[in-house]
A and B are shown apart, each in its own frame.
Chain A
């Protein structure tokens, strides 16, 4: 004898609340539930992030903000849709696959494998946020900056290869559980030398602007590759470095705060495979003086 199992709107909505598309499956609409779940997982985040990374860097922040609106919108749509549909199903007979075991399997698959897998994929392969705890990259990157790093960088299928002047994020060679952020100064085979704070790459000095002296520090703009940035050092700092040839498969990195950084002068060149991302845009910045509104949205180009 078949049993009528009217769908409960509250249950359908709650099921869609904890997993997009789950309420539709409860309502017997397996295809619709699957579509809502796929739409939520693919269209809302990975797709928009990939678009953001192909667009000019200035659009990264608004496009990533759009991901939140899209994903929350799809989530809400799923909840409302499940609620409305369940209200119409007062005379409902369960389908053969609608068992407790099937619900549990679907839920656990999504929560243990699919969503965590997608989260890890986005952070490892598309974009990840980093908070800057040190002053080693000042004045380009300040302590308290939170930035997006482009993770589609330095891999065979990635559109962006390592270039001199990039701000790279890499695995710290002396403690592989930590990431460091420094500027890429020289590529494999390049010759690097530092003499009186002037950096030479392949025998040519990096072009510089007019130095400014402030509170015992020298601040000067420097140009390397396509990047133009500011570096600083203490006037008392006179440390030089004899010429070094960057080994194959490695890069030479330095902090922009030349007197207050641990970089390749200390731990040597970094394997290229350990460079995992490139700093792209600041999305939040807070220092001792409070939020630095002027730095929000600032690009590293």
Chain B
């Protein structure tokens, strides 16, 4: 039982229970039985899950081409931004 369902008086006056009483209480409760071979079945299910596959790690030529063709104008754009205040305009 969570605190939410506990009566106010139960919260203010905590009850103690002895170990003997607890053993007796647990002895009267019926627990669900674990199915036979449960652990093995779970492990089999996990083994049957698809495993991640590592793909070819070589960078393809088009990736390099895209990086270089986009990278060069991008670098100029970055430098233009960094030096925007220093970029000299002409006066008449």
Contact = CB atoms under 8 A, between A and B. Distances in A.
Given A72-B82, A111-B74, A129-B85, A8 B91 contact: no
Contact of A67 (B70, B75, B85): B85
Interface stretch (B9-17, B18-26, B30-38, B46-54): B46-54
A159 B75 CA distance: 34
B50 A1 contact: yes
Contacts of A181: 91
Interface in A173-187: 175, 178-181
A119 B81 contact: yes
Given A15-B67, A111-B74, A116-B77, A4 B53 contact: yes
Contact of A8 (B59, B83, B90): B59
A17 B74 CA distance: 9
A231 interface: no
Interface in B49-92: 50, 52-55, 57, 59, 63, 67, 70-71, 73-75, 77-78, 80-92
A128 B91 contact: no
B84 A18 contact: no
A115 interface: yes
Contacts of B87: 119, 123, 128-129
B89 A128 contact: yes
Contact of A4 (B52, B70, B71): B52
A41 B78 CA distance: 10
Given A6-B57, A14-B67, A17-B71, A130 B77 contact: no
Contact of A119 (B52, B63, B84): B84
Contacts of A93: 52
Contacts of B81: 41, 45, 71, 115, 118-119
Interface residues of A, number: 53
Contacts of B86: 64, 129, 283
Interface residues of B, number: 29
Interface of A is mostly: mixed
Identify the interface centre among B50, B53, B54, B92: most chain A CB within 10 Å of its CB.
Answer: B92
Contact of B71 (A18, A132, A178, A179): A18
A128 B88 CA distance: 7
B89 A179 contact: yes
A129 B54 contact: no
B71 to A, nearest CB: 4
A2 B50 contact: yes
Interface in A93-122: 93, 107, 111, 115-116, 118-119, 122
Given A128-B89, A148-B85, A180-B91, 17 more contacts: A4-B53, A6-B57, A14-B67, A14-B71, A15-B67, A19-B78, A107-B74, A111-B73, A111-B77, A116-B77, A123-B87, A129-B85, A131-B90, A134-B92, A169-B91, A178-B92, A179-B91
Interface of B: 50, 52-55, 57, 59, 63, 67, 70-71, 73-75, 77-78, 80-92
6 contacts: A1-B53, A18-B71, A67-B85, A111-B77, A123-B85, A131-B91
Interface of A: 1-6, 8, 11, 14-15, 17-20, 41, 44-45, 49, 64, 67-68, 71-72, 75, 91, 93, 107, 111, 115-116, 118-119, 122-123, 126-134, 146, 148, 169, 172, 175, 178-181, 283
